[in-house]
Amino acid sequence: MAPSYDPALNLVYVGTSVTSPAPKFMLGGVENQHLYHNSTLALHGDTGEIVWYYQHLNDHWDLDHPFERILVDTAVAPDPAAVSWINPRLTPGETRRVLTGIPGKTGVVYTLDRATGEFLWARPTVTQNVISAIDGATGDVIENTEVVFSAEGQDVLACPTWIGGKDWEAGAYSPRTNRMYMPLRNACARMMATRDGGMDLYALAVRTQFAPGYDQLGTVQAISAETGATEWLYEQRTATMSLVATGGGLVFGGDVNGRFRAFDDETGEVLWEINLGSAVTGFPITYAVDGRQYVAVSTGTAGTASGFIRLTPEITPSAGNNLFVFALQH
């Protein structure tokens, strides 16, 4: 996935994915840290040297962490009512240069100091059971031993699913609101550690399902970069896909049922919607030509979209690959 770059610090931030095989008892043992998988790496822009790293998860379930890292200068004042894990050394309201976002499939928001990698705060957004706790003082992540594989043939219910509470579908950030807008899914997976069949590369057999207690699969959450609180929540039956935020106060995004819509970035109200017929699998963009603004997005097949469509068999979009461009009317 595309890295992020801070020219003032001359640091390149990039995420890493899972090991192969995924269950760590097959790869040296569950007690080892297995650096540097599922980590954020801060690399020196000239030499490539690792300046700092932060490991988000010792991963047994193919819950990669290679997604976008958002670089923001913001006041940091995590709301204890919304944020599960907070660094006790934080001075609430202090402006920090942070790296934030949802870097991995767990759907957990992590906010780190982007100069040093110091852990500042983290919180889940969707159902997850793979992390028991995060030590606020050190940032050390403690995995849930009840769902850590210890032998071949063992099966567990891991939340979220291997195709992501969040996956490669991009979230967005608006400096207008200082909020992140994230496409998320309420899904888990029954997983078995096996070298026979399933996903041979990762030594896992997987069956995806709705998270317990949910029948709405897709969500969009607007999350404050300052407080960590969810400011608004949109839910629907089908999985949500990539988003883009605009300076005009809109958030555009689609879903696997072919719906493409514009949200109000302050309230989450759906202001406009169209049915494009096929899963909206592309990354929406906006651009201007000769003073007129356009919004473009593509549709078609994609691995995660196909996986989520199987959870809602009553919904049957086409698989057409198309590029749609809309002009904003004044």
pLDDT at 98: 98
Q: Which of 231, 235, 233, 255 is nearest to 243 (CA)?
A: 255
pLDDT the model gives residue 200: 87
Q: How many domains does the chain divide into? A: 1
CA dihedral 137, 12, 38, 19 (to 10 degrees): -150
Check residue 155 and give its pLDDT.
96
Residue 119 covered by a domain: yes
Asked if residue 262 is part of any domain, the answer here is no
Which structural domain, as residue segments, surrounds residue 63? 4-236
Residue 255 has a pLDDT of 98
DSSP readout, 208-242?
EEEPTT----EEEEEEETTT--EEEEEEESSPEEE
pLDDT of residue 140: 98
CA pair distance 285, 117, nearest whole angstrom? 30
What is the number of alpha carbons within 13 Å of residue 62 lying toward its C-beta? Answer: 22
Give the model's pLDDT for residue 27: 94
Q: What is the CATH number of the domain that holds 154?
A: 2.140.10.10
Q: How far apart (Å, rounded) are the C-alpha atoms in residues 183 and 242? A: 6
Mean pLDDT per segment of 10 residues, for the chain of length 330 residues? 96 97 96 96 98 98 97 98 98 97 98 98 98 98 98 97 95 98 98 90 95 97 98 98 97 98 98 97 96 96 90 93 92
In this structure, what token pair is assigned to residue 261?
């819509």
Q: pLDDT value at position 197?
A: 80
- pLDDT, residue 1, reads 86
290 is a domain residue: no
**Domain assignment of residue 140, yes or no:** yes
Domain-located, residue 279: no
Residue 314 belongs to a domain: no
Quote the pLDDT of residue 253: 98
Strand partners, 329: none
- Domain-embedded: residue 327: no
Q: Are 252 and 171 in contact (CB under 8 A)?
A: no
**pLDDT on residue 48:** 98
pLDDT at 38: 98
Report helix, strand or coil for 265: coil
pLDDT at 185: 97
Kind plus residue range of the DSSP H or E element containing 178: none
pLDDT at 285: 98
Residue 211 domain flag: yes
